[in-house]
Amino acid sequence: MIVYPVEEDSSVKRDMDLVRDLLLRLEQDPNLDGTKWIHFTPADLEMAERSPKEIGYHLTMLIEEGFVKGKAGFEAIPIVFKLTWQGHELLDSIRDPDIWSKTKKRIEGLASVSLKVVFAIAEAEIKRKLGLA
């Protein structure tokens, strides 16, 4: 048996802008059609300013929450297969820059907020924009 130690590192914090950027970039990649597994680099995702550790951390969270179908492994950045229905739903709620800006403004000043709350706020902003709220 080979045991691999897990390096605990709390230096990576959840970044909602990075979550949105990742979903937008994954959606636009024609290779993510559910027929093959893809291993991206920061350059592939046009995120050279982000570290593989940051990207990997956020992609792993998106996989764990069911927004992206993928597999986390021993690489810094997990391999991905496609966005899930839930991933498309979330992205559709936060895609519009105006809605995203208003959503971020509403959560400004809070120490942290769950992705479900971000999703709910974005949906409320969409309803407000459509005159449904």
CB 84 within 8 A of CB 66: yes
The answer, yes or no, to whether residue 9 has pLDDT greater than 80, is no
Q: Are both 21 and 58 inside the same structural domain?
A: yes
Total tally of structural domains belonging to the chain: 2
CA-nearest of 28, 30, 59, 27 to 42 is: 59
The answer, yes or no, to whether residue 85 has pLDDT greater than 90, is yes
Residue 62 structural domain = 16-83
The answer, yes or no, to whether residue 73 has pLDDT greater than 60, is yes
Convert the pLDDT of each residue in 17-52 to its tens digit.
999 999 999 999 999 989 999 988 888 889 989 989
Asked whether residue 7 is domain-assigned, the answer is no
The pLDDT > 90 percentage for the chain reads 62
Alpha-carbon gap, residue 13 to 96, rounded angstroms: 24
Asked whether residue 3 is domain-assigned, the answer is no
* Model pTM score: 0.84
Q: Are both 37 and 58 inside the same structural domain?
A: yes
